[in-house]
Chains A and B, each alone.
Chain A
Amino acid sequence: MIDRLRFVVHETWESLTRNAPMQAAAVSTACIALILLGGAGMALYKLDAAAQALPSRFEVEVFLKMSATCAQALQLQAELQAWQEIERVLLTPREVAWEAQKRQLAADVNLADMPNPLPDKLTVRVRVPEQLPAVAERIKRLPLVDEVIDSRAELQTVLSLSRLVRWIGLGAGGLLLLAALVLIYNTVRLTIFSRQREVRVMALVGATLRSIRLPFILEGMTQGLIGGVLAATITLFAAALLSEYVTEQWVFLRDLPPGLPPVATLVGLPTLGALMGGLCAWWATLRYVRI
């Protein structure tokens, strides 16, 4: 068994060390394809997490008319709290908000003598994110309400990013993956041709078809595996660099749950690479290795 394994490994090594430029082309294309797919996968995972997390923070901010009294504000709070779709309603009285504003801007401006320009504010949180637009519309129509502000714009940003990443990542990654598959197939095919004598000798001495094909399949798997390991390393490194930049650009992404754990990338991409390489090589041997 060990002798047979040694023979197969030796034959695989012989295959890998022939046609070095083709081997390099196959490995690098597989690597780039997997970087795009892996990067897109990681970004999509993060954006999906963002899309899931943002709605829980979606709250409607309801600003009341300046003419509304404190008693009216309290009554409206109680009314809204009774709505089935609403989980919670918080009242920020205009006086409290003004005091906070004054404290915040104290270093730059003296607001002590200014009249309070702020209205009473209700912060309304819905139970189910999908109900947010309808609830916001209903609140807008109430007579005491001056303005309703929701955070749907943030969600739209996340969803747009998600769509962009999906199209670019899966589209370009898919195309490159196809190119990598064709290259691996072609490399294995060329190796088979360059090792035609060995294949013929093995066939004539009575080696089984499986044992003749196995070294070529392992060659394809190795190409995919090396491409996958390189892709995983580069993806993780690039993700660490990009994540800082992205969270600076879109501050709301900062508090999101963490993305894919690094081990998933480190195991996933090489496994995917090895599987696709093995599959291509198997296909090539089916066509070109006969006894």
Chain B
Amino acid sequence: MAVELKQVSVVYGEQYALRRVSLSVARGEFVFLVGATGAGKSTLFKLLYGERRPTEGEVWVLGQPVHRLKPRELPSLRRQMGIVPQDYPLLPRKTVWENVAYGLRAIGYSESAVRQRVAQVLALVGLNEQARQLPSQLSGGEAQRAAIARAIANNPPLLIADEPTANLDPDTSWEIIELLLRINLRGATVIVSTHNRTIVDRACQRVVAIDRGQILSDVPRGGYPVELDRLYASVVL
């Protein structure tokens, strides 16, 4: 399993952000996590990369018990994950090339390896021509592709993208999802949170719906359209 959550709860004060959530994601799977704002998607992601600890339950990622890991053990786990967070996508004073290189340098890649990997990954996300541009010069879709490029620069087996299509028009959103699907086809497990029904419908992948901290339904790949209609009817998006 790439990810396994067993009866996980997260409590903020007296409010449940997640309540007894169990979820398994196999290696190589593509999963959409859908739900309204505040449903618990970001909290679930933070559990996966150890930024938040569960109040109860177990979190296993790539065979490692994240709920038990000490802070000094988190970096080695995160090097096996690509994380596209909702906040702070790119460093504004650095070019696209520097943004992607920054992550690699921070984890000790040599300069020659950095040059090689950045070129490869920018070609993969289609940003070769924008390599020298600053984030402020990019469109929303290009900025998101740059953030994905940085996340996959060290070729992680697991990619987590938190709302990568937020504030993007439908065509650009689909471009981003296509890119994530290509990364998935290359062997990486991909988990994407969104509340964009159109792209979820079109991608035809596994969809997990979450609402008020609980998993309401889990529609397998190809479950479109009957289960998805029921799913959307149950979730306030």
**Can you list 16 contacts pairing A with B, beta carbon distance less than 8 Å?**
A3-B114, A6-B111, A198-B102, A201-B103, A202-B103, A205-B79, A205-B151, A206-B80, A206-B81, A207-B75, A207-B106, A208-B72, A208-B75, A209-B72, A211-B106, A291-B51
User: Does A200 lie at the interface of the complex (its beta carbon under 8 Å from any beta carbon of B)?
Assistant: yes
With A291-B71, A291-B74, A291-B75 as contacts: A207 and B107 at CB distance below 8 Å = yes
A107 at interface by CB-CB < 8 Å? no
B75 & A209 in contact (Cβ 8 Å cutoff): yes
Please indicate the chain B residues that have their CB under 8 angstroms from the CB of A198 in the complex: 91, 102
B221 sits at the interface (CB 8 A): no
| Partner-contacting stretch, out of B25-33, B82-90, B123-131 | B82-90
Q: Given A197-B88, A205-B104, A291-B51, list of 10 further CB < 8 A pairs?
A: A3-B105, A3-B111, A4-B108, A6-B111, A198-B91, A201-B102, A206-B75, A207-B107, A209-B72, A291-B75
On chain B, the residues within 8 Å of A209 by CB distance are 71-72, 75
Asked whether any CB of chain B lies closer than 8 Å to the CB of A7, the reply is yes
The yes or no answer to A241 lying at the interface (CB within 8 A) is no
Closest A-B pairs by Cβ, 7 of them? A206-B79, A206-B78, A205-B103, A207-B106, A202-B106, A206-B75, A197-B88
Q: Which residues of B contact A208 (CB under 8 A)?
A: 72, 75
Say yes or no for B154: interface residue by CB 8 A criterion.
yes
B residues apposed to A, CB below 8 Å: 49, 51, 71-72, 74-81, 83, 85, 87-88, 91-92, 102-111, 114, 150-151, 154
Closest to A205 in B: B103
Nearest CB of chain B from residue A133's CB, rounded to whole Å: 65
Q: Which of B71, B72, B78 lies in contact with A204, CB distance below 8 A?
A: B78
User: Which residues of chain A have C-beta atoms less than 8 A from B88's C-beta?
Assistant: 196-197, 200-201
Contacts of B79 in A (CB 8 A): 205-206
B100 smallest CB distance to A (angstroms): 10
Give complex CA distance A207, B51 in Å.
14
A209 to B92, CA, bound (A): 23
Min CB–CB distance B119 → chain A (angstroms) = 17
| Partner among B78, B92, B111 whose Cβ is within 8 Å of the Cβ of A205 | B78
